[in-house]
Structure 1
């Protein structure tokens, strides 16, 4: 029996507030048949998690488009409550599932906020919770070196401003291995102004250092953007995405339904 099945069977006794899953990228080297079978087993396990416990899935870099497409389409996305990913995973996901801006082969420099926002919106609109879709997905925490965006379906989450800010703060402290942000060791690489969308009627935003978290809305989805104080000479980068997502989840509040 696999670790995931053992883990899920212990949840009744453990009664967690939240479940965080990762490791789907570990299937990359396996056969298509193994991947298909294992994804079905993963989905069965996720559906066995007691109702009311949010499930966060942290994606990791992949090169297999078919596997990513299967993860998107085989009900994995609709079975989890929250997703965490970076710019590589976001673009690869859109390319694998024919999403917006999927003709973009790779990012140049800091990922364009409007493009990122369009893809996040598409994921939640296509695979997120709605009146017509039985999906649990209501939250995506996107992290790239220069900035983070928390996208949430309205009515399901609260405290997003603190959550996205906390994730950005831990990125600066953990990479520099300091207890608090050391201003001499960090720099700002986020765009000072950006468009909130490249495909819809996006608006232009100027970053205000006094109120660094920017909020905007689009058809029932809220976006919270924050710049990151980037460590100039990083000491620790392994597991940084996990730390960012975990910190963001710690400050997030689920609306009871």
Structure 2
């Protein structure tokens, strides 16, 4: 994993990963080793904090020597998608990208071009905190008529969408690649 960070991650301006890869990346960057345990259903606030940490750690170097600044981070979990972009970056259409990635997750796993609500369920909570580091931090409510939530922070623009989790799984292999590329496509 350290070699991947040294030879790939530092030279990438956009990263896509799942809920196991994110804490491992944070652990490599902060402790030099991978985390042996990761949460299969991580809390949104904790994940958002980890995403911010990755941004700060990868972008703190003054001497870039061919390395690129991270400007986009896409996290896909079973329950939700989150895309964090650096303010002022060239990444656009983050809301559409997050929605597309979320819908692709269901379609890929169910093996269908159509989403059947009878074969899907939501695992995401009705609301979530934007950080676990501040007691009483702002909460965002999931809205049925606009399920992709987007907000701006000092350095970042963030969008988060629930996933309609497929309950009749046809395939899981290649899911992460399909989800990441679906989100990326809308931002190029």
Task: Find the aligned partners of 2:153 and 2:55 in 1 and give their Cα distance.
Answer: 11
Task: Find the aligned partners of 2:63 and 2:147 in 1 and give their Cα distance.
Answer: 34
List alignment gaps of at least 5 residues for structure 2: none
* 2:183 matches 1:252: no
Q: How large is the Cα RMSD of the aligned pairs?
A: 2.3
Report which of the two structures shows the higher radius of gyration computed on alpha carbons.
1
Partner of 1:179: 113
Task: Find the aligned partners of 1:174 and 1:71 in 2 and give their Cα distance.
Answer: 27
Partner of 2:96: 162
Which structure is richer in relative contact order (CA contacts within 8 A, separation 6 or more)? Answer: 2
List alignment gaps of at least 5 residues for structure 1: 1-67
Answer 1 or 2: which has greater helix percent: 1
- TM-score, scaled to structure 1: 0.65
2:20 counterpart SS class: helix
- TM-score, scaled to structure 2: 0.87
Task: Find the aligned partners of 1:186 and 1:127 in 2 and give their Cα distance.
Answer: 37
CA shift for structure 1 position 219:
2.8
Q: Kindly tell me: are residues 97 and 131 of structure 1, through their superposed partners in 2, closer, same or farther at Cα, counting changes over 3 Å?
A: closer
Partner of 2:2: 69
Task: Count residues in correspondence.
Answer: 181
Task: Find the aligned partners of 2:36 and 2:145 in 1 and give their Cα distance.
Answer: 34
Q: Do the aligned partners of 2:29 and 2:57 also contact (CA within 8 Å) in 1?
A: no
1:243 is aligned, of 168, 178, 183, to 178
* 2:69 matches 1:136: yes
1:223 is aligned, of 151, 154, 158, to 158
2:152 counterpart SS class: strand
Q: Kindly tell me: are residues 234 and 133 of structure 1, through their superposed partners in 2, closer, same or farther at Cα, counting changes over 3 Å?
A: farther
